[in-house]
A and B are shown apart, each in its own frame.
Chain A
């Protein structure tokens, strides 16, 4: 079918001939500016450190040791746990996210605007805060069933957001045509709508999988051992044991598998709507007698995902504040979190700029490879990045071990993809012809950057930095392993509280994290609205 093959067109080779080269093609330059190329490759190498580490380690210990370390019932059990949790959560998230998106975008469900917000808010609650809320109410959620419930409630918005955006961009004329051809509502959905939503749905589900493989806090709290929690436990007990590193290798392999799927999807991610102009708003499908049960189901979903964790949090906040409210510690942890996240945002955005520049302005194989390299951060669990940096720092640069720069570097590797997305799209909206005009008017490259490009991409840079900042505030795993002694962030203080079953003591830290990350939700929903 034609829609499926209409991928984003890659820039054709330069050349005149019979067809006129488009202005974009004419800009393709085979020569790369050496300084830009050098900096970009440097950033890419930085982003690849954890991957190099895992690969080099595996090679260095030799095949026999690898087999001895991995061919154990314990590893088999972890693999089984990780796989069944990840797959089940991906399927559940896809079903829940897609159904909710269809109801909000295409049905006459009352209060659709409010539902849209309520369905995304769970993203502002870190998964480990969500599981804290549940565990503090009932220990029954420990184990597979509870873990599946809680991670699904935390991560289904990752499917909901892209599917809702795709539905919004889907021309209702397609559905109307199917109706006119005699298809009922269900057959239209299965044969016309669902195929169009597939890239968004699969992409979202793969993202859920990647998040799950990286998830540590929530699963540790629910006592459901997976690769990530096992690596952490081994690190804590034997410090940099070969077993931890080998399990990290297996985890990275799983992540790369998912990343490969995501990359393959990304190529055709935007076929939801071709042609210019915005589509007419769709006529909402009538739910009829199903209205009441559907409303009830949505209410149940929001209750489980929002009301329970936030309610528990509020309860412990009230109970705890009657006991003690450590203002000094809270302030210091907040300032530390803000400072670290701010530094991470700045460094990551600065690192993203040259790479984005290279792949937007000099598209070609080199730019693609460099960009993909920075993209690995998406697939690398915080635990692996931390493990790699700890080991490398101890072996080669001991003074860097447990310092702020190393922690910020870990954040940069982890969150580079988030900054890249914003910076790239901002740069792509600055037509290169503006550079030509500035040049013709006698302006040099540096002045053009300062007077033309930077003012135009400032908002994109800001959005990218904000996303990194907000991710940094709630980062737990890498911070636990890398933060300097005596440095306490909101996340680590929260973790210390829950580890000692001091639910009331942990509550204010969790509340602050939720408050600070609430704007992330706003940014994400807005981004999803503007860029279907």
Chain B
């Protein structure tokens, strides 16, 4: 499969700009998640790549072939894209096999071995071949939709929030099966999602979008650990953002002294601490700050503890394992493990 390159793409519907200059490179045979809140333009970007719509400016290339740009646009049916919309959108009047072979030539449609191979690829049993879509569970429908998209060996596979309509129990298994199928097929894939966990766990590369712009393109670890600004920080995970003063690589904040990361001059700043970096201690120790527990949300495997750091009652959050929980009202001592990225103090962009 080929790489996908988007250069300076803009799109407006009437007076409303939806995309304002998007540059995105998806290396061949890799999965890129486009992550953003609803309304950020991510689905529009996907539709432009698929060819359902044309960009106002900029270009889209599949490998070395320009499919949109310079005043011309290859129609969607000639782009060879695999498209997996929300809820799968299987053709309701066709069986699983007929759905999968829909995009193949008349002769290839009779090749049942191909159907079996594709079903295996997405982790489905051969027995579903002759079933109708309404006889499948949501997760199975989604896998068939992926098999259908992969069948004609597309250049690029585009997935538009494919897991958002599944209930939590099915979602994880389906995600894993789909990601494995895409890897096994060596597909170049773009996954649009508003679910941070999905983007971070599935993708090789995460593109964070906000207000029609691409604000960060990085590996999942980099996006989570070194977000480009506090808005991205808040969007990709729970964040404790604290005003701090940085001096010589050490930030002093409500949680005490924390090693600061980032090319930052000394002075006022804002630092990002992830809740799992905050440790709770029953006894005071050097460097630890006292805090009062206000609320505990217990999830079984772990728990979120909301605290007020004394003496100014600064609210912070800690994520702790499910054992040995403090009770609301108790006083505990907090330390921070690892370093924390610091942002210039003025920048407070909404995520």
Q: Which residues of A contact B (CB under 8 A)?
A: 13-21, 23, 26, 431, 433-434, 436-444, 451-452, 455-456
Q: Is B333 an interface residue (CB 8 A)?
A: no
B16 and A17 contacting across the interface, CB-CB below 8 Å: yes
Q: With a 10 A CB-CB cut-off, give which of B17, B85, B148 has the most chain A CB atoms.
A: B85
Minimum Cβ distance to chain B for residue A429 (Å): 9
B351 CB to closest chain A CB, in angstroms?
Answer: 14
**How would residues 77 to 102 of chain B score, 1 for a CB under 8 Å from any chain A CB and 0 otherwise?**
11111110110010111000000001
Does the CB pair A455–B77 fall under 8 Å? no
* Residues in chain A near residue B79, CB distance under 8 A: 440
Contact A439 B76 (CB under 8 A): yes
Q: 20 pairs across A/B with beta carbons < 8 Å?
A: A13-B13, A14-B16, A19-B39, A23-B86, A26-B47, A431-B89, A436-B85, A437-B85, A437-B148, A439-B76, A440-B51, A440-B76, A440-B81, A440-B149, A441-B83, A441-B103, A441-B148, A442-B77, A442-B78, A456-B92
Given contacts A15-B16, A433-B89, contact A443 B77 (CB under 8 A): yes
Residue-wise interface mask of B (7-23) relative to A, using a CB-CB cutoff of 8 A (1 in contact, 0 not): 00000011011100000
What residues of B have a CB within 8 angstroms of the CB of A436 in the complex? 50, 52, 76, 83, 85, 89
Docked Cα-Cα span, A321 to B170, in Å, equals: 70
B164 in the interface (beta carbon within 8 A): no
- Is the Cβ of B41 less than 8 Å from the Cβ of A451? no
Contact with B102, one of A15, A20, A23, A441 (Cβ below 8 angstroms): A441
Supposing A436-B76, A437-B83 touch, asked if A14 and B89 sit within 8 A by C-beta, the answer is: no
Task: Provide the B42-81 mask, 1 if CB < 8 A to any CB of A, else 0.
Answer: 0110010011100000000000000000000001111111
Q: Contact partner of B83 among A13, A23, A440, CB < 8 A? A: A440
- Docked CA distance A526–B13 (Å): 42
B43 contacts across to A, CB distance below 8 A: 20, 26
- A434 to B89: give the CA distance in the assembly, Å: 6
CB of A433 within 8 A of CB of B85, answer yes
Question: Known: A436-B76, A456-B92. Is A15-B14 also a contact (CB below 8 A)?
Answer: yes
A16 in contact with B89 (CB, 8 Å): no
Chain B residues whose C-beta falls within 8 Å of the C-beta of A13 in the assembled complex: 13-14
A451 — which chain B residues lie within 8 A by C-beta?
102
Q: Does B38 contact A (CB under 8 A)?
A: yes
Chain B residue at minimum C-beta to C-beta distance from A440: B83
**Known: A436-B50, A441-B103, A443-B103. Is A20-B77 also a contact (CB below 8 A)?**
no
Query: Any chain A CB within 8 A of the CB of B212?
Result: yes
Q: Given the known inter-chain contacts A439-B52, A440-B81, A442-B77, please indicate yes or no for A455 contacting B102, CB distance below 8 A.
A: no
Query: Closest residue of chain B to A28, judged by CB?
Result: B13
By a CB distance below 8 angstroms, the chain A residues around B152 are 441-442
Spell out B's residues near A (CB within 8 Å): 13-14, 16-18, 38-39, 41, 43-44, 47, 50-52, 75-83, 85-86, 89, 91-93, 102-103, 148-149, 151-152, 154, 158, 212
Q: Which 5 A-B pairs have the closest CB atoms?
A: A441-B103, A440-B83, A16-B18, A20-B38, A15-B16
Shortest A301–chain B CB gap in Å is 42
For B82, what are the chain A residues with a Cβ–Cβ distance below 8 Å? 440
Q: Told that A433-B85, A440-B77 touch, could you supply 9 new A-B pairs with CB distance under 8 A?
A: A13-B13, A14-B16, A15-B14, A21-B13, A26-B47, A431-B89, A439-B77, A440-B76, A443-B77
The number of A-B residue pairs with CB atoms under 8 Å apart is 89
The residue of chain B having its C-beta at the shortest distance from the C-beta of A456 within the complex is: B93
Contacts of B51 in A (CB 8 A): 439-440
Bound together, the chains give a CA A443 to CA B105 distance in angstroms of 10
Select which of B39, B89, B93, B149 is within 8 A of A455 by beta carbon: B93
**A143–B105 Cα gap in the complex (Å)?**
71
A512 to B: closest C-beta gap in Å: 36
B14–A452 CB distance below 8 A? no
In the assembled complex, how far is the CB of residue A444 from the closest CB belonging to chain B, in whole angstroms? Answer: 6
Residue of B50, B75, B78, B89 contacting most chain A CB atoms (<10 Å): B89
Judge whether B44 and A16 touch: CB under 8 Å.
yes
Asked if B14 and A14 make an inter-chain contact with CB atoms under 8 angstroms apart, the answer reads yes
Which chain A residues border B86 with CB–CB below 8 Å? Answer: 23, 433
Across-interface contacts of A14 in B (CB, < 8 A)? 13-14, 16
Chain A hits for B39, CB < 8 A? 16-21
Are A15 and B89 in touch, CB under 8 angstroms? no
Tell me, rounded to whole Å, the shortest Cβ–Cβ distance linking B73 to chain A: 13
Cα distance A19–B38 when bound, in Å? Answer: 7
A14-B13, A16-B41, A444-B77 known; A438-B102 Cβ under 8 A = yes
Are B50 and A440 interface neighbours, CB within 8 A?
yes
Residues of A within 8 A of B16 (CB): 14-17
What's the Cα separation between A452 and B93 when bound, in Å? 8
Q: Which chain B residue has the least Cβ–Cβ distance from A13?
A: B14
Interface centre among B13, B43, B44, B158 (most CB of A within 10 A): B13
Q: Which residues of B contact A437 (CB under 8 A)?
A: 83, 85, 89, 91, 148
